[in-house]
């Protein structure tokens, strides 16, 4: 098993923690990143684009002009697609872009992303993240010391932390249930507590 340093909130090393190679030392599979991020972004698409067909547009109750004798092509309705303001043929309709992806691929991608951050030295393990109060300025100073700037924080039930970081544009809080590949890759630093390391290992163990 590999070991990672454990820090306090002042970025002072206070110990070591052994971590599972299966979770934090796995081979990085970048193709899994592509597949899972594509799947995540597809699920996020609104799919609300909508156009009206000839049955939904206004007008067209009367024949535009008589059938014969005008020298023009026969027309039955101004709602036809060839008229300005007419319906759209085969236009987009509300739909879901989501599709299924095997759970094994999703879990494997998260293990790869965690391993990547550990190999880069951008996985920061802290003793705890108890701020003691709801204070955005205090949270900003702590994360500036810990990681410098952009960070994804994975923590359990921590009201003070949740409320303190929600207005920080460079820090994002996630509960374990929300841990995902897109956010791990988006934020260059990952901050977790010792307790959360064990919970992650329990959730992702094969």
pLDDT in tens, the chain (206 residues): 789 999 999 999 999 999 999 999 999 999 999 999 999 999 999 999 999 999 999 988 889 999 999 999 999 999 999 999 999 999 999 999 999 999 999 999 999 999 999 999 999 999 999 888 999 999 999 999 999 879 999 998 889 999 999 999 999 999 999 999 999 999 999 999 999 999 999 999 87
Shared domain check, 176 and 131: yes
Q: Name the pTM for this structure.
A: 0.84
Clarify whether residues 176 and 123 are in a common domain. Answer: yes
The 10 Å CB-count burial string (b at 16+, else e) for 71-107 is eeeeeebbbeeebeebbeeeeeeeeeeeeebeeeebb
Question: In which domain, by residue range, is 123 found?
Answer: 2-46+97-204
Does residue 140 share a domain with residue 179? yes
**For the chain, how many structural domains are there in total?**
2
41/108 same-domain check = yes
């Amino acid at each position: 098993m590999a070991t990672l340093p454990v820090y306090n909130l002042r970025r002072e090393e206070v110990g070591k923690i052994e971590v599972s190679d299966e979770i934090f030392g796995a081979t990085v599979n970048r193709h899994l990143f592509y597949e899972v991020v594509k799947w995540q972004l597809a699920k996020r698409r609104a799919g609300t684009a909508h156009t009206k067909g000839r049955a939904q547009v206004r007008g067209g109750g009367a024949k535009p002009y008589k059938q014969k004798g005008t020298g023009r092509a026969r027309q039955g309705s101004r709602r036809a697609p060839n008229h300005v303001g007419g319906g759209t043929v085969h236009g987009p309709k509300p739909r879901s872009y989501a599709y299924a992806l095997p759970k094994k691929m999703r879990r494997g991608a998260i293990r790869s992303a965690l391993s990547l951050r550990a190999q880069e030295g951008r996985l920061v393990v802290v003793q705890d993240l108890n701020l003691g109060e709801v204070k955005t300025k205090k949270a900003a100073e702590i994360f500036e010391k810990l990681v410098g700037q952009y960070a994804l924080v994975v923590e359990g039930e921590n009201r003070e932390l949740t409320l303190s970081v929600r207005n920080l544009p460079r820090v994002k809080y996630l509960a374990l249930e929300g841990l995902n590949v897109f956010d791990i890759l988006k934020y260059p630093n990952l901050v977790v507590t010792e307790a959360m390391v064990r919970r992650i290992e329990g959730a992702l163990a094969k």
